[in-house]
Homo-oligomer: A and B are copies of this chain.
């Protein structure tokens, strides 16, 4: 574990600290544990382990999933750098899901007990958390809506656009997306089979909406893609 600080972190303007004033920032920096690293396939936490921390992705990416009866998995979410994991674990004694690295990944750990005591005395942090949770709740509603009512094409396009936007807030070019997950994982997340995802990708490619090289997707005309997106997504 490298001892990096929030002060030196490239994500400091995207992550929780961005909300905090100097004094609070210092205190926050003291309780967070910086930069654990993982290889692909290693877990941040497992389902049914006792909950003790929140996590923030620093680099790389992870998937959050639950295992069902017959150890088939259902993917709930993907997390990219700067994103906070654990908003769904404040009211539970054990993690309801597992989080595993999709590639080489580093992350910070935020012990829940310490976080809660900070929370009590930092109105700004409270505001930030309420906003974040609120946003999460509405975007999940949005997803839900999309899952029920959109075509496979629309769902996949929305997913891509979402990734593009998230990466672009990180400073990456918005038309260049590297997929750290497999076709089957995207399908699982979107409620589609890997075959369907594959077919959609080839079709989008034929229609010159995207160009694909393995896990790298290029969107040659962003406005066009967005328009198609909004048109097929109603």
Closest chain B residue to A90, Cβ basis: B134
One digit per residue, 1 when the CB lies within 8 angstroms of any chain B CB and 0 when it does not, for chain A 53-92 equals: 0000000000000101110001011000000000111111
For the complex, what is the distance from the CA of A140 to the CA of B231, rounded to whole Å? 26
Given A126-B119, A140-B141, A145-B74; A134-B89 close (CB under 8 Å) = yes
Q: Tell whether A31 is near chain B: CB-to-CB under 8 Å.
A: no
How many copies the complex holds: the figure is 2
For the complex, what is the distance from the CA of A149 to the CA of B191, rounded to whole Å? 6
Q: Tell whether A131 is near chain B: CB-to-CB under 8 Å.
A: yes
Distance in angstroms from A149 CB to nearest chain B CB is 6
For the complex, what is the distance from the CA of A133 to the CA of B88, rounded to whole Å? 8
CB pair B149 A74 closer than 8 Å: yes
* Most chain B CB neighbours (cut-off 10 Å) among A70, A190, A234: A234
CB pair A123 B120 closer than 8 Å: yes
Given A66-B145, A130-B90, A145-B76; A137-B135 close (CB under 8 Å) = no
In the complex, chain B residues whose CB is within 8 Å of the CB of A191: 147-149
Main secondary structure of the interface of A (DSSP, over half): helix
CB pair B147 A76 closer than 8 Å: no
In the complex, chain B residues whose CB is within 8 Å of the CB of A68: 234
In the complex, chain B residues whose CB is within 8 Å of the CB of A234: 68-70
Name the one of B70, B88, B141, B149 contacting A138, with C-beta atoms under 8 angstroms: B88
In the complex, chain B residues whose CB is within 8 Å of the CB of A111: none
In the complex, chain B residues whose CB is within 8 Å of the CB of A66: 145
Distance in angstroms from A136 CB to nearest chain B CB is 6
For the complex, what is the distance from the CA of A191 to the CA of B145, rounded to whole Å? 8
For the complex, what is the distance from the CA of A70 to the CA of B148, rounded to whole Å? 18
Distance in angstroms from A11 CB to nearest chain B CB is 20
Q: Tell whether A10 is near chain B: CB-to-CB under 8 Å.
A: no
CB pair A88 B134 closer than 8 Å: yes
In the complex, chain B residues whose CB is within 8 Å of the CB of A135: 91
- Which A residues are closer than 8 A to B by beta carbons? 66, 68-70, 74, 76-77, 87-92, 96, 116, 119-120, 123, 126-127, 129-138, 140-141, 143-145, 147-149, 190-191, 234
A-B contact pairs, 27 of them (CB 8 A): A66-B145, A68-B234, A70-B234, A76-B145, A77-B141, A87-B133, A87-B134, A87-B137, A89-B134, A89-B138, A90-B130, A91-B130, A91-B131, A92-B138, A96-B138, A116-B127, A119-B130, A120-B123, A129-B130, A137-B137, A137-B140, A140-B140, A140-B144, A143-B144, A144-B144, A144-B147, A148-B191
